[in-house]
């Protein structure tokens, strides 16, 4: 291939600074447009039910932050969401799509419930043991997908998802079976079939600030977010994972075994989801009891948080708070007459909208490169 003579330096500098500005402008416009489109569609849905969007927005804000005690609730929900998102980030960085967090989370909660209600011991030991076992259970559950992928080439996208449906039945089995986790206390407050509640000592300490309370799982999640960010960016292990995610062949050549590193990434990914489930239970979700619908979509929403944060563990923190806020805010929507499921639509639309700008940018860059290349060869 022939190369064009190098352009004069000053031309390049002017050109590149102009280009940088126009690129920045373009990207901003793209983001504004796509987020605007997502919100417009959501607003249209609200209007369809005969409600005004500002009223709905106010209800969401009240429910998420402004009304007394609400931001504590928001933070309590943000914690497991962030944990799930961290797991997703670890997987995606390694090029693996574990989308079965909802199931791994249930297995984590199941392990926590088992340790908390069936084993004897000091409260703190049981709590730490339960959280650890919860993480291990989630990791092992995702490990099934790892074995299937690296032994037999089954895509983890499919296996992890099928495992979700099985996890729901395992939990159903556990809480309806007398010798397993079913609560047989005749004085239990409701007739619903659940596990026994975690005893007092095995619960996560509650933090109280300004009349708001949230469980200390938030602290665990925040610390882990920093650790994940550090490990991915600054350690050999993190480098190996990123390499694996970018190019399996190069990774293999350098000596990063796809099988070992990938399995480990899937396991870690599931372990975060499992820990999220254990934290939810020990943090007071559904009154410290394991129930059939225990996961309440936290797994799916955590997954979306990771996508929204572009697999950046620190960016996942505000995104988790945003999604948790939408969720707790939805609790106040009943008064306005809008179904709270509108929030599910808004969340997914936001993620889809944010996928568009980088993809458009990439195409533009490719076109520009191609134009430059063909310009060179035609000279």
d(CA 287, CA 281): 8
Quote the least distance from Cβ 134 to another protein, whole Å: 21
Residue with tokens 């933090």: 207
d(CA 206, CA 372): 60
Of 294, 348, 306, residue with least CA distance to 326: 348
Binds another protein by CB under 8 A, chosen from 39, 140, 162, 314: 162
Quote the least distance from Cβ 343 to another protein, whole Å: 8
Instruction: For residue 214, give every residue at least 6 positions away whose Cβ sits within 8 Å of its Cβ, in sequence order, or none.
Output: 72, 73, 75, 76, 79, 206, 207
Angle, in degrees to the nearest 10, between helices 217-234 and 70-93: 30
CA of residue 322 relative to chain centroid, distance: 12
Segment near another protein (CB under 8 A); pick from 14-22, 165-173, 189-197, 199-207: 165-173
Binds another protein by CB under 8 A, chosen from 4, 13, 40, 362: 362
Q: Which 100-159 positions form the footprint of another protein (CB under 8 A)?
A: 144, 148, 151-155, 157-159
d(CA 127, CA 115): 8
Quote the least distance from Cβ 40 to another protein, whole Å: 15
d(CA 301, CA 307): 10
Binds another protein by CB under 8 A, chosen from 172, 180, 239, 258: 172
| C-beta of residue 83 within 8 angstroms of C-beta of residue 101 | no
Binds another protein by CB under 8 A, chosen from 99, 146, 202, 228: 99
DSSP 180-240: TTB---TT-SSSS--BPPPPGGGSPPEEEETTEEEETHHHHHHHHHHHHHHHHHHSHHHHH
Residue 193 interacts with another protein (CB under 8 A): yes or no: no
How many residues contact another protein, by CB under 8 A? 50
| C-beta of residue 127 within 8 angstroms of C-beta of residue 203 | yes
Residue with tokens 């000592």: 201
- Beta carbon nearer to another protein, 226 or 373: 373
Binds another protein by CB under 8 A, chosen from 79, 86, 97, 220: 97
Quote the least distance from Cβ 166 to another protein, whole Å: 5
d(CA 328, CA 60): 8
- Beta carbon nearer to another protein, 126 or 351: 351
Residue 259 interacts with another protein (CB under 8 A): yes or no: no
Segment near another protein (CB under 8 A); pick from 170-178, 181-189, 312-320, 328-336: 170-178
- Beta carbon nearer to another protein, 61 or 170: 170
- Beta carbon nearer to another protein, 234 or 341: 341
DSSP 253-272: HHT--HHHHHHHHHHHHHHH
Residue 339 interacts with another protein (CB under 8 A): yes or no: yes
Q: Which 286-305 positions form the footprint of another protein (CB under 8 A)?
A: 300, 303-304
Read off the tokens for 312: 């950046």
Binds another protein by CB under 8 A, chosen from 107, 164, 273, 330: 164
Residue 352 interacts with another protein (CB under 8 A): yes or no: yes
Residue 43 interacts with another protein (CB under 8 A): yes or no: no
Segment near another protein (CB under 8 A); pick from 190-198, 201-209, 222-230, 339-347: 339-347
| C-beta of residue 107 within 8 angstroms of C-beta of residue 172 | no
Read off the tokens for 255: 């000596």
Quote the least distance from Cβ 221 to another protein, whole Å: 22
Residues forming contacts to another protein in the complex (CB under 8 A) are 45, 48-49, 97, 99, 144, 148, 151-155, 157-159, 161-166, 169-170, 172-173, 176, 300, 303-304, 307, 339, 341-345, 347-349, 351-352, 355-356, 358-360, 362-363, 366, 370
């Amino acid at each position: 291939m022939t190369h064009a003579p190098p352009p004069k330096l000053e031309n390049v500098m002017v050109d590149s600074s102009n280009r940088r500005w126009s690129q920045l402008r373009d990207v901003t416009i793209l983001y504004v447009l796509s987020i605007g489109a997502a919100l417009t569609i959501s607003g249209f849905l609200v209007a369809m039910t005969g409600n005004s969007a500002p009223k709905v927005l106010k209800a969401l804000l009240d429910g998420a932050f402004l009304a007394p005690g609400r931001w504590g609730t928001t933070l309590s929900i943000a914690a497991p969401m962030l944990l799930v998102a961290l797991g997703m980030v670890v997987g995606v960085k390694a090029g693996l799509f574990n989308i079965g967090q909802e199931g791994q989370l249930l297995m984590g909660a199941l392990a926590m419930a088992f340790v908390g209600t069936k084993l004897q011991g000091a409260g703190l030991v049981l709590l730490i043991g339960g959280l650890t076992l919860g993480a291990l259970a989630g990791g092992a559950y995702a490990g099934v997908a790892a074995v299937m992928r690296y032994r037999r080439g089954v895509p983890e996208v499919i296996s992890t998802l099928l495992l979700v449906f099985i996890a729901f039945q395992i939990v159903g089995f556990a809480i309806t079976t007398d010798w397993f986790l079913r609560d047989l206390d005749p004085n239990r407050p409701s007739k619903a079939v659940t596990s026994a509640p975690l005893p007092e000592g095995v619960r996560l300490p509650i933090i109280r600030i300004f009349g708001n309370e949230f469980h200390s799982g938030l602290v665990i999640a925040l610390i882990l977010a920093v650790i994940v960010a550090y490990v991915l960016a600054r350690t050999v292990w993190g480098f190996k994972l990123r390499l694996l995610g970018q190019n399996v062949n190069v990774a293999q050549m350098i000596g990063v075994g796809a099988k070992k590193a990938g399995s480990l990434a899937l396991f870690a990914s599931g372990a975060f989801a499992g820990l999220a489930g254990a934290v939810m239970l020990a943090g007071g979700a559904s009154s410290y009891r394991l129930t059939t619908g225990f996961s309440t979509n936290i797994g799916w929403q955590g997954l979306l948080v990771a996508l929204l944060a572009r697999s950046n563990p620190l960016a996942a923190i505000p995104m988790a708070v945003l999604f948790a806020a939408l969720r707790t805010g939805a609790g106040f929507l009943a008064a306005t007459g809008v179904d709270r499921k509108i929030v599910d639509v808004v969340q997914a639309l936001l993620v889809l909208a944010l996928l568009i700008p980088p993809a458009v940018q990439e195409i533009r860059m490719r076109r520009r490169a191609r134009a430059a290349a063909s310009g060179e060869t035609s000279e």
